[in-house]
Amino acid sequence: MAVVPTDDIVALLEQDHAAIQERLIELENADSNDRAMLFRELTTELSRHEVAEEMVVYPVIRTEPGGDVIADARRAEESEAEALLAHMEILDPTTEEFMGAVRDLRSAVMDHAAREETYVFPLLLAHGEDAYLALLGQKFRGEKLGAPTHPHPRLPNSALGNRVFGPFASFIDRQRDSA
């Protein structure tokens, strides 16, 4: 088995999945005073991760046989999680309703991550070239930096939609975050 560089797309996705899982567990176990801060951090992390996947990962896997079906299924899962995340933003983090939503979000996000690791990663690795996978990793990192920090379930959930509306959403999010 070849040694995979830590900056390749698959390694970065794995790192994100592990970090998001840790953040979800942290949030689930947090006392009510810390939930709002942890939720904001999780929201930023998830929002940026999903947008970067839409911009970098899904266009690549669509070039592989069966990739359209896999990309569409993963995007549908992301849309459901994004809607739940947006709903959670209006909930009081000290309530049981919020905690129930946290558990639902954790289940949805981790199921999605497992399906990506099962179906998406092999398609990415089919490209085989370490340099290409590292280039995708660089693009992924770059897209995350400029991505919105909040969910926008009403915006198109695609690379084109993010290319057109993402900068505006990102600007609004950063204004919102700094207030």
Note the residue count of the chain. 179
pLDDT of residue 101: 97
pLDDT in tens, 142-172: 999 887 766 666 655 655 555 555 555 555 6
H or E element in which residue 119 lies? none
Contacts of 104 (CB under 8 A, 6+ apart): 84
DSSP 8-state class, residue 57: I
What distances in angstroms separate CA 11 from CA 15, 52, 124, 137, 172, one per listed residue? Answer: 6, 14, 11, 8, 30
Say how far apart CA 21 and CA 117 lie, in whole Å.
14
Q: Is the pLDDT of residue 3 over 80?
A: no
Identify the burial level of 36 via C-beta atoms within 10 angstroms of its C-beta, where 0-12 means exposed, 13-18 middle and 19 or more buried.
Answer: middle
Contacts of 102 (CB under 8 A, 6+ apart): 24, 27, 28, 39, 88
pLDDT in tens, 43-90: 999 999 999 999 999 999 999 999 999 999 999 999 899 999 999 999
What one-letter code names the amino acid at 110? M
Say how far apart CA 123 and CA 120 lie, in whole Å.
5
